[in-house]
Amino acid sequence: MAVTIRWSPNSWFELAAADVVVQIDPAIPPNAPYDLESEPAPADLVLVTHHHRDHCDPVMVDRVAAPGTPVFAPRLAAATLGERAEVVKVGDVFDAVGVQVEVVAAYNTEEGSSTNKTHAPGEGVGYVVTIGDLRIYHAGDTDLIPEMADLEEIDVALLPVGGTFKMDASEAARAALLIDPGIAIPMHPRDTNPEEFRAMLDDSGIEAVVLTADEELDVELDLSE
């Protein structure tokens, strides 16, 4: 099963397979210094990690999703999105449009590198999305947390590296080593250089891929391993 992963600024990822498109955190916050370079693909499924406006954007959700498209979000984000969103919580596992979704923890810790610790346990989530044979982990806004050790067989990990409200590059690299995905992609870099994250994973056996805005990466599970 091949999946095309496209990153838009912040934490917006489009996961596109032959018969399904998943949009995670489709959002462009007000006064953002960028716009999309190309129109996003219509979503078959939308997942939102938390209620902050650079992740939870009702206008953009309406832009990518038809009225009947399933939309899932934790409680505060669902309240922002209105009746179209179904509330999820950590520990939920469900199937939607042929995709398996696991809802996992995402929060700040006192020990973490985030400079603003506004993400309380339970307010936001991450997701493990299984499309065909590929398991893709979207961490949301989080520090390195113990629950990451419980993630299993992750092929691609999408990890925040920006430091403000979330892990910095060094902590994200430690998270990648704990999770041990085949591929790690930095997201939400803010004013940092995501190449620092890539360099920290040199010789780790993890392929760190730095995407530019609207750049695509085709990923296919190697069943020969």
Q: Is residue 147 part of a domain?
A: yes
Q: What is the per-residue pLDDT across 196-225, written as a single tens digit (0 to 9) for each?
A: 999 999 999 999 999 988 899 999 876 444
On average, the pLDDT of the chain sits at 91
* Antiparallel, parallel or unpaired: β 134-138 and 156-160: parallel
pLDDT at 106: 97
Q: What is the per-residue pLDDT across 153-172, written as a single tens digit (0 to 9) for each?
A: 999 999 999 887 889 999 99
Region 24-48 average pLDDT: 84
pLDDT at 222: 60
**Domain extent for 215:** 2-220
Q: Is residue 23 part of a domain?
A: yes
pTM of structure: 0.94
Query: Containing H/E element for 103?
Result: strand 99-106
Which residues, listed in sequence order, are joined to residue 208 by a DSSP beta bridge?
184
pLDDT at 60: 93
Output the domain CATH number for residue 11: 3.60.15.10
Give the least confident one: 107-111, 115-119, 152-156, 187-191: 115-119
Q: Is residue 225 part of a domain?
A: no
Contact 62/87 with Cβ under 8 angstroms?
Answer: no
Indicate if the pLDDT at residue 47 is higher than 70: yes
Number of domains in the chain: 1
Q: Is residue 49 part of a domain?
A: yes
* Antiparallel, parallel or unpaired: β 124-131 and 71-73: unpaired
Q: Is residue 94 part of a domain?
A: yes
